[in-house]
Amino acid sequence: MNERIKQLAISTGIYDSLCDPYDRHNTGNPVGSIIDDLEKFAELIVKECMRMCEVTEMSFVTHDCDVEASGAITVKQFIAEHFGVEE
């Protein structure tokens, strides 16, 4: 799981609630398929935010606002780096 997404899941309590209650070796491993689904869900939200940056960029380009368009792409790149998501 991406470290930032995992930190967010831990801070909400979701991660701990998904840990296997029958974990006899106290490894703290979350239930596999559920945590995979949670990670995929979070990744889709991040990608949608990145897509909205692209939409914003195109709107700025259409209105000849090159500096703002560049800013939108920079924000998209920061989001990708922060969450470790491939563009």
Structure confidence at residue 27 (pLDDT):
62
Q: How many domains does the chain have?
A: 1
Q: How confident is the model at residue 69 (pLDDT cuts 50, 70, 90)?
A: very high
Q: What are phi and psi of 63, to 5 degrees?
A: -100, 20
Q: What is the pTM of this model?
A: 0.75
Range of the domain at 70: 3-83
Distance CA 70, CA 1 (A): 30
